[in-house]
């Protein structure tokens, strides 16, 4: 592979990693909330969390574009308060990858948290531990493998994201072009050899991430 192709792979992997790291804290909180709490409207939240799995990615990207553009509510607020532009920057890449990866992470983390025996949490409370201490010393450590498996699945999903990314971040070489976008662009230009090189790298990295996730899930189940 050429140096340009390696830079593209590194950029995509770094964006996917950043998106996954940004997703983990709120994703764990949301997964715990769904796993341990019941409230009116919970089904609506569960449906919203899962929507990126079933919506066409370009629709999700269009919604993000509308919300984070300069005329959008969130985009205008970010520019006014922090001077940040999101659309058609690397930040839009991270946003799109995190959004499309979030259902896999939240669903996997929720299953891991639900598998933790509530009696162990209750025993910790009877010994005087508060809710946050119970969560960080009992619940989260016992669900750690499942949470990590979800993070790996989210990372793998982020590596392969195309539709939402191209809508909200575009295809700006050296700034927003990710591996899937580059593969599509190479095919459009008739650069089949380059497309196959990049596709092979995408397959290998995704296979390793999903395989490691499966190993963690099996160990947790065992």
Q: Which two tokens stand for residue 219?
A: 């160990």
pLDDT band at 1 (very low <50, low <70, confident <90, very high): low
Write down the pLDDT at residue 41.
85
Question: Please, which pLDDT band fits residue 213 given cuts at 50, 70 and 90?
Answer: confident
Q: What pLDDT, in 10s, does the model give residues 131-167?
A: 888 889 889 999 998 898 899 889 989 999 999 999 9
pTM, two decimal places: 0.90
CATH class of the domain at 3-57+89-221: mainly alpha
- Per-residue burial over 117-148, b if 16 or more Cβ lie within 10 Å, else e, is eeeebeebeeeebeeeebbeebbbebbebbbb
- Span 30-54, mean pLDDT? 90
48 vs 78: CA distance, rounded Å = 23
Q: Which residue has the higher pLDDT, 194 or 162?
A: 162
Residue 93 pLDDT greater than 60, yes or no: yes
**Percent of all residues in the chain with a pLDDT value above 70, rounded to a whole number:** 97
Task: Give the separation between CA 89 and CA 95, rounded to whole angstroms.
Answer: 10
């Amino acid at each position: 592979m050429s140096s340009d192709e390696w830079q593209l792979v590194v950029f995509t992997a770094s964006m996917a990693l950043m998106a996954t790291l940004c997703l983990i804290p709120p994703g764990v909180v949301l997964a715990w909330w769904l796993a341990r709490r019941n409230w009116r409207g919970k089904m609506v939240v569960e449906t919203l969390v899962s929507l990126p799995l079933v919506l066409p990615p370009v629709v999700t990207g269009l919604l993000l574009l509308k919300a984070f553009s300069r005329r959008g509510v969130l985009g205008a607020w970010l520019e006014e308060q922090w001077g940040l532009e999101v659309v058609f920057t690397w930040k839009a890449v991270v946003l799109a990858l995190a959004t499309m990866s979030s259902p896999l992470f939240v669903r996997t983390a929720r299953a891991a948290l639900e598998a933790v025996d509530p009696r162990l949490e209750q025993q910790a409370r009877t010994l005087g531990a508060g809710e946050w201490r119970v969560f960080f010393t009992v619940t989260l450590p016992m669900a750690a493998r499942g949470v990590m498996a979800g993070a790996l699945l989210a990372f793998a999903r982020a590596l392969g994201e195309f539709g939402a990314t191209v809508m909200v971040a575009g295809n700006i070489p050296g700034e927003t072009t990710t591996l899937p976008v580059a593969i599509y662009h190479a095919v459009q230009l008739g650069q089949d050899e380059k497309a196959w090189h990049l596709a092979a790298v995408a397959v290998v990295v995704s296979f390793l991430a999903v395989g490691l996730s499966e190993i963690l899930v099996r160990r947790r189940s065992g």
